[in-house]
Structure 1
Amino acid sequence: MSDAQTLIENRPPSVAGLFLERVAATPDAEAYRYPVPPASGQGPDDWKSLSWAQAAERVTAIAAGLIELGVAPEQRVALASATRIEWILADLGIMCAGAATTTVYPQTNAEESAYILADSGSRVLIAENAEQLAKAEARREELPELTHVVVIDGEGVETGDRVLTLAELESRGAARLEKEPGLVQERVGAIARDQLATLIYTSGTTGRPKGVRLPHDSWSYMARAIAATGLVTADDVQYLWLPLAHVFGKVLTSGQIEVGHVTAVDGRVDKIIENLPVVQPTYMAAVPRIFEKVYNGVAARAKAGGAAKYKIFQWAAEVAREYAKVTQDNFRRTGTASAPFGLSAKHKVADALVYAKIREAFGGNLRACVSGSAALAPDIGYFFSGAGIHILEGYGLTESSAASFVNPGEAYRTGTVGKPLPGTEVRIADDGEILLRGPGIMQGYHKLPEKTAEVLEPDGWFHTGDIGELSPDGYLRITDRKKDLIKTSGGKYVAPAEVEGRFKALCPYVSNILVHGADRNFCTALIALDEAALTEWAKENGLEGKPYAEIVAAPATVEMVDGYVRQLNEGLQRWQTIKKFRLLPRDLDVEHGEITPSLKLKRPVVEREYKHLIDEMYEGTREG
């Protein structure tokens, strides 16, 4: 048996158990860093640290506080907060009490929040602030099982028997532990592998969200499997900003506990650029939209710097892509990431002019990024690879505890999601669908046995709904969502994600694009432009100071985007080409339900919202 197999097979039943093991092993080592804004509200944040022992003191106080409130094993405690240190401490406290965390995105509206709290049967809600508390209070009569609300930031909150602050909960817990010092260890020791640990509600594109039931063993397995890949070491510094209500963010907290490295936690997306040079992470996880934004920002700044500067950037981008393709190919064949002398010389010049500045913006120490949640356009992946920002694409779903595949370090291949994690099985069905089996797979959908039976076979194989191909040496390439494949009225199949990804690599001003064409005789696109990049472009094109909607509607803007669409079409098969497009009057966002909190496009919502624009593009054409 290999070391990796031994590590995984000898895992404890829960991450709560792993956490206590970690605290015992390295109590004084730094566990977490988190920002504290200055009292004046002006100037940079002050970053504080928690050792594993300090984190454990708070975690056990939270766990004991929940037990004091009457929370029993497997009962649900909801957590509605943005990513912050208290989210992690509260989640660990819930698990150490033997209870289960119901995750709620802070952007979720009052109606859907109430549905999640009611459907999950949550007994306690840990709410970030007065705003999250108000959502629950507005629907109080619909939540008879909700006995208490604990508020992290108590500003403007009136506390009492039912509502208390996190500090008060910890104080109650500490008092209980004085009387029963072994209380939390007893609860953790009693946790069974199949005991519910987490309920994550998938933001469905239609209908109500479904609660995905993930047991304690799923996270314990994930923690050990991530460690077994060797991708992360105890010397790493992770920058964690992803939404922890999402399975991708949540799995990163499990892996960190097993490995024991430092995690800097701050979920404020608008602070990423400011935080990177301060945190200087060695690795971080992100979704493709972040890499697209960085790429588009660099391209737009180069364009704004004049024709010569933009020409240098375009040349450097092509060199990066060529260098990445050659070195990755050579590594695959020979085990050495080498490039011919001429290409290496060009790469060295481009590095001094362009790439070094990009690496500096990421903090200067970045060894690798992990990208997941949606497909990364290969051209953008190759660009960053050639620039020395190594993006390891991975793949998984909420139903598979997030991490089923990841690219193996130096042997990563852009355009693939790598190999399965140790202990996870994969096979490709006759119709191309990816099927998964292993300890990370969910128990099922909460209170929805029929929906569970649709995707989970009795022998444990889970139907992902994604189409993919496996290389002879085990690398997986996702070609599309099964339900997103477009079949034109001419009988040709189009993978919209592939076309959309190519456009994102070409046009530095795009934010979101949706390709449409199912049962139509040609493909069209709805395009939303990135406000920051577009504003810069507007300054150079006589539209400075105009509102976003006006810039988008300007003939010059339509002409500019048309140029990129024509460029896109040159590289496509005839039936894939975009014959018509419309620019959207605003960017797509989470608030309107058009993208998920992990920035994935909700196609049915966007198509419904902008049906009039889609119909307009097909007016006067013969369908069929």
Structure 2
Amino acid sequence: MGIIPKVGKNDIYLAYLPMAHVLELVAEHIIVAVGGAIGYGSPLTLTDTSNKIKKGTKGDATVLLPTLLAAVPAILDRVRHGVLKQVDTKGGLSKKLFNLAYERRLQALNGSWFGAWGLERILWNLFVFRKIRKVLGGHIRLMLSGGAPLSADTQRFINICFSAGIGQGYGLTETCAGGAFSDFDESSVGHVGPPVPSSYIKLIDWPEGGYSIHDSPMPRGEIVIGGTNVTLGYFKNEEKTRESYKVDERGVRWFYTGDIGRFHADGCLEIIDRKKDIVKLQHGEYVSLGKVEAALIGSPYVDNVMLHADPFHSYCVALVVVSHEALEKWASKQGTTYSDISELCMKEETVKEVYASIVKEAKNSRLEKFEIPAKIKLLCNPWTPESGLVTAALKIKRESIRKTYDNELKELYSS
């Protein structure tokens, strides 16, 4: 309760993650404890423009008008991309006004333009950002993000457009969601804050990945969490328990997360990699799959993406789930004829357009040449929890996707 400020009986919480997600479990317990209200929705009905919302009807947030929201980066990224698409569609004066307002607020957050904090901030919120806030009901004041690292761009977007505090949390089911948590009024981005009061966090060397606690300017290594919130182990799985849990000479029980982090000078933790997401290519280069995917999904044509790296080849490939709206809009401008979205995805000019877009995003993120996929396969069907290809928190299930699209991956490497 000390970490999440001023939560009380007047708050309304929108719950859409499954109770099996430890972040959701903890969040709902807190709301019940303070006497707040909970409304239940789903990731596919969250906003008025969500995939499962019938045209002309309202999404969960519009109906419930929540004040609190626990989110995962995939959801917040979709909200951001959706708003930016609407701004681009309107164009003209509306787009110029939005860009001006956003830039002034960004300068204020970065401390380079103090004038945008007072009356000017009120005016921007009233005339520009008020409509954007209605995407999530218009009453959101606090958000908690967990499940994966939140990009700095998306965090700033939420701060500015929704005038809401957003705290990044880091933890796992094995640590009862506890680990690290940033303050809601934190002005810096790109980290998950210091350890929570119940946790100890240390880094250990991972030589195979090139990470060391002696690295400069910041120590880097695998994140290991200890404390009273660390669970006893995995149910009826002694082998995995012995592998992931270790008790030191002082009796402290440590969980080895498999995540790679680094500590800033102020004690804040930043997540930079994951051991399971790192693949070594044929010529010895290491590729971080998650890092590359986070960059590529910035393309307006990409709804979801999975990078695949085969250790027996010198390059990567990618499966790209396309954004129907963005692709159809491009096809309309080009005068491209097609019978359905599936046919459009198979056209050579479509593949070239999407590929050029993701290469641009990759270069903007300063990815190395070997990290950029050499070939891509466009997919028209979205990955949903019902299909078993993403989790309820919309994180991709790599092994399930590999098995489902085994032929497509083999074709990318053989062609």
> What interval of TM-score do these two structures reach, taking the shorter chain for normalisation?
0.7 to 0.9
Kindly provide the amino acid, as one letter, of the partner of residue 7 in structure 2: T
Deviations along 1:200-229, whole A, 9 cap, x unmatched? xxxxxxxxxxxxxxxxxxxxxxxxxxx021
Partner of 1:290: 75
Partner of 1:277: 62
Q: 2:141 aligns with which of 344, 347, 367?
A: 367
What is the distance in 2 between the residues matched to 1:563 and 1:353? 36
1:447 and 2:236 equivalent? yes
What is the distance in 2 between the residues matched to 1:377 and 1:256? 27
Shift of the 525–316 alpha-carbon distance from structure 1 to 2, 3 Å rule, reads: farther
Report the CA distance between 1:514 and its aligned residue. 1.4
What is the distance in 1 between the residues matched to 2:173 and 2:238? 17
Partner of 2:194: 419
Shift of the 594–471 alpha-carbon distance from structure 1 to 2, 3 Å rule, reads: same
Shift of the 583–464 alpha-carbon distance from structure 1 to 2, 3 Å rule, reads: same
Shift of the 589–477 alpha-carbon distance from structure 1 to 2, 3 Å rule, reads: same
Deviations along 1:338-379, whole A, 9 cap, x unmatched? 635589999888656643321122222211211111232332
Q: TM-score, normalised by structure 2?
A: 0.81
What is the distance in 2 between the residues matched to 1:554 and 1:348? 48
What SS does the corresponding residue of 1:420 show, helix, strand or coil?
coil
What is the distance in 2 between the residues matched to 1:353 and 1:298? 16
Equivalent residue pairs, number:
381
1:300 and 2:300 equivalent? no
Partner of 1:128: none
Contact 1:299-1:313 at 8 Å conserved across structures: no
1:404 and 2:179 equivalent? yes
Q: 1:471 aligns with which of 242, 259, 264?
A: 264
Report the CA distance between 1:617 and its aligned residue. 3.1
1:394 and 2:169 equivalent? yes
1:551 and 2:344 equivalent? yes
Shift of the 406–542 alpha-carbon distance from structure 1 to 2, 3 Å rule, reads: farther
Q: 1:612 aligns with which of 383, 388, 407?
A: 407
1:257 and 2:32 equivalent? yes
Structure with the largest fraction of helix: 1
Partner of 2:155: 381
What SS does the corresponding residue of 1:563 show, helix, strand or coil?
helix
The structure, 1 or 2, with the larger RCO (C-alpha pairs under 8 Å, 6+ apart) is: 1
Report the CA distance between 1:503 and its aligned residue. 2.4
Shift of the 373–317 alpha-carbon distance from structure 1 to 2, 3 Å rule, reads: farther
Report the CA distance between 1:467 and its aligned residue. 0.8
Aligned positions of 1:126-141 closer than 5 A: none
Shift of the 343–267 alpha-carbon distance from structure 1 to 2, 3 Å rule, reads: closer
Partner of 1:312: 96
1:511 and 2:296 equivalent? no
What is the distance in 1 between the residues matched to 2:76 and 2:289? 19
Deviations along 1:88-125, whole A, 9 cap, x unmatched? xxxxxxxxxxxxxxxxxxxxxxxxxxxxxxxxxxxxxx
Q: Taking every aligned residue pair, what percent have the same amino acid on both sides? A: 30
Aligned positions of 1:92-103 closer than 5 A: none
Kindly provide the amino acid, as one letter, of the partner of residue 588 in structure 1: W
Q: 2:16 aligns with which of 241, 244, 247?
A: 241
Kindly provide the amino acid, as one letter, of the partner of residue 579 in structure 1: A
What SS does the corresponding residue of 2:273 show, helix, strand or coil?
strand
What is the distance in 2 between the residues matched to 1:419 and 1:316? 34
Contact 2:296-2:358 at 8 Å conserved across structures: yes
What is the distance in 2 between the residues matched to 1:383 and 1:316? 14
What is the distance in 2 between the residues matched to 1:549 and 1:316? 39
Deviations along 1:415-469, whole A, 9 cap, x unmatched? 2122222111111111211111122222211111111111010240001111111
1:484 and 2:268 equivalent? no
Contact 2:179-2:201 at 8 Å conserved across structures: no
Report the CA distance between 1:266 and its aligned residue. 1.1
What is the distance in 1 between the residues matched to 2:98 and 2:398? 32
Partner of 1:182: none
Shift of the 613–545 alpha-carbon distance from structure 1 to 2, 3 Å rule, reads: closer
Report the CA distance between 1:237 and its aligned residue. 2.5
Kindly provide the amino acid, as one letter, of the partner of residue 564 in structure 1: S
Gaps of 5+ in 1: 1-226, 331-337
Gaps of 5+ in 2: 48-58, 207-220
Partner of 2:55: none
Kindly provide the amino acid, as one letter, of the partner of residue 424 in structure 1: S
Partner of 2:210: none
What is the distance in 2 between the residues matched to 1:588 and 1:504? 14
Report the CA distance between 1:550 and its aligned residue. 2.4
Structure number with greater Rg is 1
Which moved further from structure 2: 553-562 or 408-417?
553-562
Kindly provide the amino acid, as one letter, of the partner of residue 512 in structure 1: N
Contact 1:488-1:517 at 8 Å conserved across structures: yes
Kindly provide the amino acid, as one letter, of the partner of residue 446 in structure 1: F
Kindly provide the amino acid, as one letter, of the partner of residue 159 in structure 2: S
What is the distance in 2 between the residues matched to 1:559 and 1:345? 47
What SS does the corresponding residue of 1:272 show, helix, strand or coil?
coil
What is the distance in 2 between the residues matched to 1:525 and 1:310? 36
What is the distance in 1 between the residues matched to 2:243 and 2:403? 26
Contact 1:238-1:281 at 8 Å conserved across structures: yes
What is the distance in 1 between the residues matched to 2:99 and 2:294? 20
Partner of 2:52: none
Shift of the 351–518 alpha-carbon distance from structure 1 to 2, 3 Å rule, reads: farther
Kindly provide the amino acid, as one letter, of the partner of residue 590 in structure 1: P
Contact 2:102-2:160 at 8 Å conserved across structures: no
Contact 2:191-2:270 at 8 Å conserved across structures: yes
1:525 and 2:318 equivalent? yes
Shift of the 272–592 alpha-carbon distance from structure 1 to 2, 3 Å rule, reads: closer
Shift of the 614–313 alpha-carbon distance from structure 1 to 2, 3 Å rule, reads: farther
Contact 1:424-1:436 at 8 Å conserved across structures: yes
Q: TM-score, normalised by structure 1?
A: 0.55
Kindly provide the amino acid, as one letter, of the partner of residue 414 in structure 1: V
Shift of the 242–319 alpha-carbon distance from structure 1 to 2, 3 Å rule, reads: same
What is the distance in 1 between the residues matched to 2:229 and 2:245? 13
Shift of the 314–454 alpha-carbon distance from structure 1 to 2, 3 Å rule, reads: farther
What SS does the corresponding residue of 2:399 show, helix, strand or coil?
helix
Report the CA distance between 1:539 and its aligned residue. 5.4
